Amino acid sequence: MRGVVFLGDRRAEVREFPDPQPGWGEVVVRLKAGGLCGSDLHRYRQDAAQRAGNIIIPGHEPSGLVESLGGGVANVRVGDRVSVYHYRGCGYCKECLGGNLMWCAESRGYGVPIHGSNADLILTDARNCLPLPTELSFAHGAMMACNAGTAFSSMQKLHPVGGETVAIFGQGPVGLAGTLFAKAMGARVVGVEPLAGRRALAHSLGADETIDPNAGDPVKAIHELTRGEGAACSFETSGSGSGVNGAVDCLRLGGRAVFVGKHEDKALAPSQIIGRQLTLMGSFVLPIHMYYEMLRLILERRVPLEAMVTHRFPLEKAQEAFALFDSGKTGKVIFEWA
């Protein structure tokens, strides 16, 4: 099979790898769509010294057809359409039984440390194969593995009700999926995004208002859009210091925020949180069973996830795909197989 490797200094190359063989309880899936995620870019941007000797295939948004089964697999058959959950776990510990495979002591994520989805085939556990109904494309299946799943799980934590305003910082793929889900859940969405193309995409996907943070103070703008009250909820996907602070300072009294964009500065002061009694939450992918709730919302509210996709590439164009996605000027970028 073919698989992508990152050589360092923003170079991606397609190489030949042996086809994976499923062991007991394992499944091999033939990829039909695979997403590029912002977290892949951290490794794409590493230098050649950091990448030296690392030939793990990146990518953790797999969707495709079940190709072959190991022994003891009962939940899928060859030819089934599946979305593949992003972390493999032991399956038996407290965290796995709670659905949080990413917290398992034996957790293994695609791309780090095991071969991921930027390849023709992927080896996974039977339990990671989640059903993808025929109404949804493989592109949907790919996005539901990380991008949309991360946004959905965050919106479940914010739980906007009664048309509450949700300010979403960053309108990259996770922010855009947040916009779609928040709208489907009945919220009013204010998107904060410096790039005009992404603001336009956010509008086309249903964002009620968009703000360019370089054109003025977004916190002030959000207060103006909420008659001075502030937003009930915020969702921080940008990973910038201004986004982190903005997502806190834009909130109304008793507001709540979810953070998924990593920012290492100690940017927040307790005084920003105490007086207004804010609730701040972190979020990280989604528990595996939440896939079914996401699926229900997408099907019943016809959430047009695939409208986020702006670019599609065959795997052999990996270098072009990552370079374009790295420019930050795209919506969702995916690999597709005929």
Residues lying near Zn ion in the complex (CB under 5 A): 37, 39, 89-90, 93, 96, 104, 146
Strands 251-259 and 129-131: unpaired
Pick 32 or 86: Cβ nearer Zn ion: 86
Pick 14 or 93: Cβ nearer Zn ion: 93
Pick 93 or 307: Cβ nearer Zn ion: 93
Pick 111 or 230: Cβ nearer Zn ion: 111
Least Å distance, CB 39 to Zn ion, is 5
- Taking residue 131's Cβ as centre, other Cβ atoms within 10 Å add up to 14
Nearest 5°: CA angle at 174, between 169 and 175?
30
Pick 154 or 245: Cβ nearer Zn ion: 154
Least Å distance, CB 105 to Zn ion, is 6
Least Å distance, CB 209 to Zn ion, is 27
Q: What are phi and psi of 81, to 5 degrees?
A: -85, 130
d(CA 101, CA 19): 25
Pick 149 or 230: Cβ nearer Zn ion: 149
Least Å distance, CB 4 to Zn ion, is 15
Q: What are phi and psi of 140, to 5 degrees?
A: -60, -45
Handedness of CA 286, 288, 291, 293 (dihedral sign): negative
- SS3 of 307, please? helix
Strands (E), 183-278: 188-192, 209-211, 231-236, 251-259
Entry field: residues in the chain? 338
Pick 244 or 260: Cβ nearer Zn ion: 260
- SS3 of 174, please? helix
Least Å distance, CB 41 to Zn ion, is 10
Least Å distance, CB 40 to Zn ion, is 7
Least Å distance, CB 231 to Zn ion, is 25
Q: What are phi and psi of 247, to 5 degrees?
A: -65, -25
- SS3 of 289, please? coil
d(CA 236, CA 242): 10
Least Å distance, CB 104 to Zn ion, is 3
Pick 160 or 261: Cβ nearer Zn ion: 261
- SS3 of 114, please? strand
Which one-letter amino acid corresponds to residue 321? A
- SS3 of 219, please? helix
Residues 240, 256 contacting (CB under 8 angstroms):
no
